[in-house]
Amino acid sequence: MIQFPFNVALCIENLHLTDILRAFRGFLVNKAGIYGFQNIKTGEIVYIGSCINLWKRLMQHITGQKSNIILQNAFSKYGLASFRFLVFVFVPLEEHNSKAEGRTSLLSAEQLYLNSFNPRYNILKVAGSSLGYTHTPEALAKMSGENNPMFGKTGENNPMFGRTGADHPIYGNTGESAPNFKKVPANASPVYLYNTDRVLLNSFSSREAAAQFLNVSRITVIRYIKSGKVLNGRYIVTSSSL
């Protein structure tokens, strides 16, 4: 088990493998929280964000839709396999009296992590500013120090503290225990996705899975495999490893 010097509610590696991602879908879909990307080699937390649907946001980053340009350049240069996706804390928005209150709580928690890690891929250092949201002085004050709702929620005060091994909600849901492990058609053809520098970004057990990931049709995947042309100006699609 991976040991972190900070609290982590969930960790996903092998981001280039579709079956691994699908195995975690149920833990992320429609769940709000604070997430980050970690460079596996250096251990550095390079990007932090917050969202109301962790699954949707993860897939946006992986497919390059509505993502951070610096993070995308890193994915292209080093490959998805070089990074971990971490959920630092799940934020139960339903416990708040209104959506606005829930959003404030989410952004406040994100700000705490931004201040703590100072991730270098984050262009903007104020939570929510990338969405055009302007914090009032009062709101900014609530995001700092003891006023922050996440202040002091470390160690035993963290809801995920001590939940390791069989007590962790994702324990045992990897490999052959994953719900979608090897559930592919018998005649499926593997697909490999590279960047223009021929670095492997992702691999798929079928053309259908690749099409779903890229948000294109199966025919489009087949066409680019045959032609060898660059898809969307960034992907090389092949039926065998390069």
Query: Using an 8 Å Cβ cutoff, are 112 and 151 in contact?
Result: yes
| Nearest Cα to Cα of residue 45 among 115, 137, 104, 109 | 115
Of 15-24, 31-40, 207-216, least confident by mean pLDDT is: 207-216
Query: Using an 8 Å Cβ cutoff, are 108 and 149 in contact?
Result: yes
Q: Is 41 exposed, middle or buried (0-12, 13-18, 19+ CB in 10 A)?
A: exposed
Greatest mean pLDDT among 78-87, 136-145, 185-194: 78-87
**16 pLDDT above the threshold of 60:** yes
Mean pLDDT of the residues in the chain: 77
Query: Using an 8 Å Cβ cutoff, are 142 and 104 in contact?
Result: yes
Quick one: pLDDT band at residue 9, thresholds 50, 70, 90? confident
Distance, in Å, from the CA atom of 91 to the CA atom of 80, rounded to the nearest integer, reads 26
Give, in order, the Cα–Cα distances in Å from 45 to each of 9, 22, 83, 148. 15, 23, 10, 21
**174 pLDDT above the threshold of 50:** no
**216 pLDDT above the threshold of 90:** no
**58 pLDDT above the threshold of 80:** yes
List domains and CATH numbers for the chain.
Answer: 10-177 (3.40.1440.10), 191-238 (no CATH)
**67 pLDDT above the threshold of 90:** no
pLDDT mean over 81-89: 93
pTM metric for this prediction: 0.56
**156 pLDDT above the threshold of 80:** no
**176 pLDDT above the threshold of 90:** no
Predicted local confidence at residue 95, as pLDDT: 72
Residue with more model confidence, 71 or 234: 71
pLDDT mean over 156-175: 48
Of 55-64, 129-138, 209-218, least confident by mean pLDDT is: 129-138
| Nearest Cα to Cα of residue 179 among 26, 5, 17 | 26
**152 pLDDT above the threshold of 60:** no
**83 pLDDT above the threshold of 90:** yes
pLDDT mean over 12-35: 90
Predicted local confidence at residue 177, as pLDDT: 46
Of 19-23, 117-121, 188-192, least confident by mean pLDDT is: 188-192
**153 pLDDT above the threshold of 60:** no
